[in-house]
Chains A and B, each alone.
Chain A
Amino acid sequence: MTGSKSEGGGMRSPMATGKVARRPGYRRVVAFALALFAGLLMAIAPAIAADTGLKGTVKDPTSGAGIAGVVITSEGDGFTESATTGADGKWAIALPGEGTYTVTLDTTSLPSGLGLANPERGTTSIDAYSGQVKTILFPLGDGSAPAPGSEAASKWSQIPQLTVDGIIFGIVIALAAVGLSLVFGTTKLTNFAHGELIALGALLTFFFSSIVGLPLVIAIVVAVLASAFIGGWVQNRVLWKQLRMRGTGLIAALVVSIGLGFFIRYFFLFVFGGQTRQFDEFAGQAGIEIGPVLITPKDLIASFVGVILIGLTTYWLLRTKAGKATRAVADNPALASASGIEVEKVISTVWILGAGLAAFSGVMIGLQSGVSWYMGFQVLLLVFAGTVLGGLGTAFGAIIGSLIVGVLIQLSTLVIPTELKYVGALVVLILILLIRPEGILGRRERIG
């Protein structure tokens, strides 16, 4: 980029001025894809609708087998109902209607040697909506959770655990950040709707696993591919490519992405409802101890897959022709176009790749802490923090920056209250801009 103002013509790609060959078939494909997407999401709502109630499974943390005879009580406005788990550990309570209820697990009914993994979570308060059955989980442990006082003394011994948690969280952020950064690099769009791609991946995984009934692993693969297609190819094709051809300015496009994100978020709320749900499989998985660190197998495997995906992306960017073309477009779209690179094709590829990676990032969050309509926007600011820290527009910087943000968030809980850990990361974001605005791997000219 020469860095001159008139040259950085915003969303306008060199293709914009030329005639665009419009194949009529494309329109139909796009319309079909949109209809499919709407159909899929609409299908979620009625499928969930059933009687109002609560359900769950109490499982032995080590063997994973259901525990029979555990008493669960739900209380609400003039309503009390108890249920006892069956041989498979399952229980269900029908509720009289909408309202706020408390659900309590009677710890005395548990087999000896078992207790709640988190003693403070023995009673939860929930908002029930009519026509919805909520899943309530009570993860069990050996019942010997540390007393609150002993926590402070062993603060430093938490560092390995927090670091590992931080790296996993960093991988989650990095997966989303790569797409954000590549899209910014190639089209100069600061996409505030990127968080919704994260949520899309998780929501589609929930749809394919819990409603269609596919095994979770297959559901994840299908959901990531579907997100890459809908959130990447279709989104670029239907919206952003059209805006580039119209010559919409950078800032206008930024505001458009905000409106789009807002729309999609409330669309998700509309079809999915306001609560956080867990995937049916592996929901209450017990952790395994590796040295001083406790980690659940699902997190371990998901992070491993995440690292492989990031590695493959890096390899693709560095070694393949398409990857080199992508970096060329990010560097100078006009020159890249003049050298015979199909800029629009590269941008389309980047969108597909970015949406797929973000979808897997959403799957990882879903495995850890459940799926909700708001999950994407919640992480988005941290993704921005990672991206800016590494240098906006550089894929490698985004990866490194995200890992730093992830570890930093977890380690900061040693010093500040856990509920404020994201605040710490956002403060760091602002400080980084003060000291080194171009980020760790960014180049000074990028910031204009």
Chain B
Amino acid sequence: MDWLTVFQNSLTQMIGVSAIIYCLAALGLNIQFGYTGLLNFGQAGFAAIGAYAIAVTVATLGWPLWLALFFGILGAIIFALLLGIPTLRLRADYLAIVTIAAAEIIRQVARAVSLNDYFGGSDGISGKYAADWYALNPLPVGIDTALIRFSRNDLWVVINGWTLVAVIVLITWLLMRSPWGRVLKSIREDEDAVRSLGKNVYLYKMQALTLGGVIGAFAGVIFAVAAQSVQPDNYSTTLTFFAYAVLILGGAARVFGPVVGSMIFWFLLVFVGQALNNAVKAGYISSSILRPDQVGQIQFMLVGLGLMALMIYRPQGIFGDEKELALDER
């Protein structure tokens, strides 16, 4: 068993593209769920909007990347408004049901055969979306060390991705210190009290949903640019659930929660997957118990169990403050 490769892959994924994507998705959720208490289970839908905005605009229509980015943000705002208007006046679980349904609507529309010409059906859209942007890459070569390994293009994505994360973390930190952020937190704690102070709770919730959704769309943008393709099934509910696991692991309502959570999550996920894979190949685990193609299923089962255990025994995650997250009473 080659432990060094396992370790190298795990460390690479810990700061790799996947970690950035889920970190961004979780940063959006942090504003919605962590600070405002909104149960958005449709983050995959927001990410899909960001990704498809890039793919359709650049690959299908042949328009520039910056315009695609604009469409992605616009699309996320419209989606947030569509979801928010009917549900934000209702109890929290209605938003959960509607957002999870809406994300499924987006995925099923994107993979529909009858709309193949626009969204490419279940194969999605592949193409050189971001050739111009990759051409800006000043790095001569990638990195190949014993601990981490990135190709030249991946390194460019990773550097830009974490820069984007840093900017969003900074914005979140500034916003949550501001009076606006304090209103969000008090909505989470006691909506009626905020209302009695004359604040328009509905409007604040809508703003939080929209902001979190736009950040979620950025997750999709990075996904599309890094993979140079979009597939509808990458934006299933699994993405949302993973993002929740990331957020709760790191600690909701903490600025750095999603960042730390995403890194640990991907390190553990890849490490367990690779270790199991190697163990099966080396014959430590009989293939009658575990076939190599079943390793992914074990990983997913562990994510499910982990999410349950965290929520039951340590809902504040690693860095969260238990007092801050009064998740009850809504």
| A interface residues (Cβ-Cβ under 8 A, vs B) | 5-6, 8-10, 46, 49, 129, 190, 192, 243, 246-252, 254-256, 258-267, 269-270, 377, 381, 384-385, 388, 392, 417, 419-420, 422-423, 426-427, 429-431, 433-434, 437, 447-448
Contact = CB atoms under 8 A, between A and B. Distances in A.
Contacts of B300: 262, 265-266
Given A260-B308, A437-B86, A426 B327 contact: no
Interface in B291-312: 293-294, 297-298, 300-301, 303-308, 311-312
A433 B101 contact: no
B86 A381 contact: no
A388 B100 CA distance: 14
Contacts of B126: none
B38 to A, nearest CB: 10
A381 B97 CA distance: 8
Interface string B280-298: 0000000010000110011
B113 A6 contact: no
Contacts of B298: 266, 270
Contacts of B108: 419-420, 422-423
15 contacts: A5-B192, A10-B328, A49-B288, A190-B96, A247-B328, A252-B327, A255-B248, A256-B312, A258-B241, A259-B241, A262-B300, A263-B304, A430-B101, A433-B90, A433-B98
Q: Is the interface of B mostly helix, strand, loop or mixed?
A: helix
B114 interface: yes
**Residue from A252, A259, A260, A269 whose CB has the most chain B CB atoms within 10 Å:** A259
Contact of B101 (A46, A265, A384): A384
- Among B86, B102, B190, max chain A CB count under 10 A is at B86
Given A5-B329, A255-B248, A266-B301, 12 more contacts: A10-B328, A250-B93, A252-B327, A254-B39, A262-B238, A262-B307, A264-B304, A266-B297, A266-B298, A420-B114, A433-B94, A437-B89
Nearest to B192: A5
A429 B248 contact: no
Most buried by A among B101, B112, B114, B303: B101
B94 A251 contact: no
B114 A448 contact: no
B288 A46 contact: yes
A191 to B, nearest CB: 10
B92 A420 contact: no
B315 interface: yes
A374 to B, nearest CB: 10
Contact of B311 (A256, A265, A430): A256
Nearest to B113: A419
B314 to A, nearest CB: 11
B34 to A, nearest CB: 12
A267 B91 contact: no
Given A5-B329, A8-B329, A433-B87, A259 B97 contact: no
A388 B307 contact: no
B264 to A, nearest CB: 17
Nearest to B289: A45
A129 B297 CA distance: 15
Nearest to B107: A423
Which of B83, B85, B245, B330: most chain A Cβ within 10 A?
Answer: B330
B87 A263 contact: no
Contacts of B304: 259-266
A420 B112 contact: yes
A263 B104 contact: no
Nearest to A378: B104
Contact of B297 (A251, A269, A423, A429): A269
B94 A262 contact: no
B119 interface: no
Contact of B305 (A259, A270, A388, A426): A259
A149 to B, nearest CB: 18
A427 B86 contact: no
Contacts of B327: 249-252
A437 B90 contact: yes
B218 interface: no
Nearest to B33: A251
Given A263-B305, A420-B112, A430 B91 contact: no
B109 interface: yes
B96 to A, nearest CB: 7
B105 interface: yes
B212 to A, nearest CB: 16
Nearest to B94: A433
Nearest to B244: A255
Contacts of A254: 39, 93, 96
B94 A388 contact: yes
A267 B297 CA distance: 7
B105 A190 contact: no
Contact of B97 (A190, A265, A267, A417): A190
Nearest to A269: B297
Contacts of A190: 93, 96-97
A181 B237 CA distance: 22
A437 B94 contact: yes
A430 B93 contact: no
A242 to B, nearest CB: 8
Contacts of B97: 190, 381, 384, 388, 429
Contacts of A430: 82-83, 86, 98, 101-102
Nearest to B301: A266
Contacts of A6: 329
Contacts of B114: 417, 419-420
A447 B311 contact: no
Given A267-B301, A417-B112, A426-B104, A256 B93 contact: no
A249 B329 contact: yes
A159 B113 CA distance: 24
B313 to A, nearest CB: 9
B112 A419 contact: yes
A6 B330 CA distance: 9
Given A263-B304, A266-B300, A426-B104, A250 B330 contact: yes
Given A6-B329, A262-B241, A419-B113, A429 B98 contact: yes
Contacts of A392: 93-94
Nearest to B108: A423
A341 to B, nearest CB: 24
Contact of B312 (A243, A258, A266, A267): A243
A259 B329 contact: no
Nearest to A416: B114
Nearest to A268: B297
Contact of B315 (A252, A258, A263): A252
Contacts of A434: 85-86
A422 B108 CA distance: 9
Contacts of B306: 259
A44 to B, nearest CB: 14
A118 B301 CA distance: 38
A397 to B, nearest CB: 15
Nearest to A131: B291
B36 to A, nearest CB: 12
